[in-house]
Amino acid sequence: MSNRRCPRCQTTYDAPARFCVKDGSLLVESAPESGRRTGGQADGGEDPSARLADRATALGSLTGQILDQRYQINRKLGEGGMSYVYEAQEIESGRSVAVKILIPRLSRDPASVERLRREATIATRLNHPNVCPILRLGETPDRLLYLVMPYLEGEPLSEHETRRGPFPVAEGIPLLVQVCHGLGHAHELQIIHRDLKPENVMLVPDPEAPTGFRAVVMDFGLAKERRAGPDVVKLTATGIVLGTPEFMSPEQIRGKPLDGRSDVYALAILAFELFTGQLPFTGKNAQETMIARLRGAPLPLRAVRGDLPAKLEAVIARSLSVNPAERYASMADLAHAFEASTSTGVLGRLFGR
Where do the domains of the chain lie, and which CATH numbers do they carry?
31-36+48-150 (3.30.200.20), 155-233+240-350 (1.10.510.10)
User: Where in the sequence numbering do the catalytic residues fall?
Assistant: 195
Q: Which residues contact 121 (CB under 8 A, 6 or more apart)?
A: 19, 24, 25, 26
pLDDT value for 16: 64
Task: Evaluate whether 153 touches 211 at the Cβ level (below 8 Å).
Answer: no
Exposure b/e, 99-111, CB count within 10 A at least 16 = b: bbbbbbebbeeee
Tell me how crowded residue 37 is: count the other CB atoms within 10 A of its CB: 11
pLDDT in tens, the chain (353 residues): 456 766 666 677 777 666 665 655 566 665 443 333 323 333 444 454 445 445 556 666 789 999 999 999 999 988 776 678 999 999 999 999 999 887 777 667 777 677 767 767 777 888 999 999 888 888 888 778 888 999 999 999 999 999 999 999 999 999 999 999 999 999 998 888 888 999 899 999 999 888 889 999 988 755 554 443 333 333 333 333 345 678 889 998 888 889 999 999 999 999 999 999 999 988 777 777 778 888 888 999 999 999 999 999 999 999 999 999 999 999 999 999 999 998 554 444 443 33
Predicted confidence at residue 55, as pLDDT, reads 57
CA dist., res. 290 & res. 245, Å (int) = 8
- pLDDT for 282 equals 82
